[in-house]
Amino acid sequence: MTREREDTGGVDVARLMEEIKERVRQRRASGFYSDEEVRRIAQMELEISEVVPSFETEIGQHLAELNDTWDTSAEPVITSHRPGLGAAIVATKRLLRRLTRPYITLVLARQVQFNSTLLHLLNAFVLPARDQLREGIAGLGRKSEELALEVHERLTAEHGEGLRRHHELARRLDAMVGEVGALRAAVDRLRGPASVGTLPPVPLVRAGAEALSPQAYVQLEDRHRGSREEIRQRQLGYLELFPRGPILDVGCGRGEFLELCREAKLEARGIDVDSGMVARCREAGLDVERVEALAYLDGLADGSLGGIFCAQVIEHLPSEALVTLVRLAHRKLGSGGVFLCETPNPACLTVFSGAFYVDLTHIKPIHPEAARFAFEAAGFREVEIRFVNPYPPDAKLQPLEPLWYMRRYEEAFLAAINDNFTRLNDLLWGAQDYAVIGRKP
């Protein structure tokens, strides 16, 4: 997997700069260069010195680390620092590793595939970019050598011809400074993340929805989402977060939350891109429209909504659409308005071997802290993460009970095993979903 680095040569920047500085000192002492020309040469030297070594070293270190650590399924080294009891602890850890390996391997399989694909892409794009940067710097070095040679030739020419070449060399020096600036800008683009503010508008549609007919997607929801009564009970706890309307349910699906709002006498309406879901909601007498959400939100008056509810939608969206959705929600809510998004919880690893990839239209999970950051960056305050829909206790590892004949050290050992079971339960069978809740000041 690890790709060997290609040594394409380059230029000794330190040596080149010393030679240029020495020649400049000599020419300046003879009155050959003006102060302005010396300033431009010094600026070019500084730009080249800043761009080359640190960036190339940084890229090389990061790529080497990624090539060494991409395989998250690699077998860990199990040790213990405790004397005497250490052998028993190591044996227990190895037993737990064998017991949980099938689950962990299944959970990590997609992560390993993702890491491998991403690393291939990085090796394919970053290394050629680094090599291209090297070639550009080497070209500048060659041009500097040619410039110095022409300066030397000019000293032996007549004064009139020398003056003409003097102006020509000054022009070329300006051009070289411009090339250094362009290279530095290229380095900055490779180094820094793209600005979120420059993201192009992205339509909010359910990824892959066009591959399923409206009837098929309704059947998928009925089979794997849970019954309408189960979803109503889960969403009932959200109702208290919305003290006033109007409330917009984005991606309303079968309309469970809209029914709860109607029963609570809260003004609410819904939108969805799936015609089958919209038809079912209208049959139930709910105010639902089939429309694309970002365009719909953008057409509303700023500050016109009291709340926005969005359950099991953002995992269907590209990152750009999610950022745009959060920003639009902040604009369209009035002061004190609430924006809530419910989505599968990637901190519960069993979600990946179960519900998440059952839905063919899911793109990627959203980490709770990533969702919190998106809300805060858009201007929401008092952002809360609420974990919901826990796995039933009988689906988890069960604690071991002590036996009457156990000695004290055996009971302590059993307590350590149960503590590890608790940690595994939290990691593998925690809350299946979470809601990120933001309030507009």
Please determine, for residue 156, whether its predicted confidence score (pLDDT) is greater than 80: no
Q: What confidence score (pLDDT) does residue 431 get?
A: 78
Please determine, for residue 437, whether its predicted confidence score (pLDDT) is greater than 60: yes
Q: Does domain 209-439 have CATH number 3.40.50.150?
A: yes
Please determine, for residue 83, whether its predicted confidence score (pLDDT) is greater than 80: no
Rounded to whole angstroms, the Cα distance separating 109 from 222 reads: 28
Rounded to whole angstroms, the Cα distance separating 440 from 438 reads: 7
Where are the domains positioned within the chain? Answer: 13-72+80-192, 209-439
Q: What confidence score (pLDDT) does residue 3 get?
A: 40
- pLDDT bin (cut points 50, 70, 90) of residue 228 is confident
pLDDT tens for residues 349-394?
Answer: 776 666 666 666 778 888 999 999 999 999 999 999 999 988 777 7
Please determine, for residue 412, whether its predicted confidence score (pLDDT) is greater than 70: yes
> What predicted TM-score, i.e. pTM, was given to this entire model?
0.50
Please determine, for residue 208, whether its predicted confidence score (pLDDT) is greater than 50: no
- pLDDT bin (cut points 50, 70, 90) of residue 400 is confident
Name residue, tokens 């008092």.
382
Angle value at C-alpha 34, between 28 and 38, nearest 5 degrees: 70
A 10 A CB-CB count for 79 gives 9
Q: What confidence score (pLDDT) does residue 364 get?
A: 85
User: Is residue 384 within 8 Å of 372, Cβ to Cβ?
Assistant: no
Q: Residue 346: phi, psi to the nearest 5? A: -70, -10
Q: What confidence score (pLDDT) does residue 298 get?
A: 94
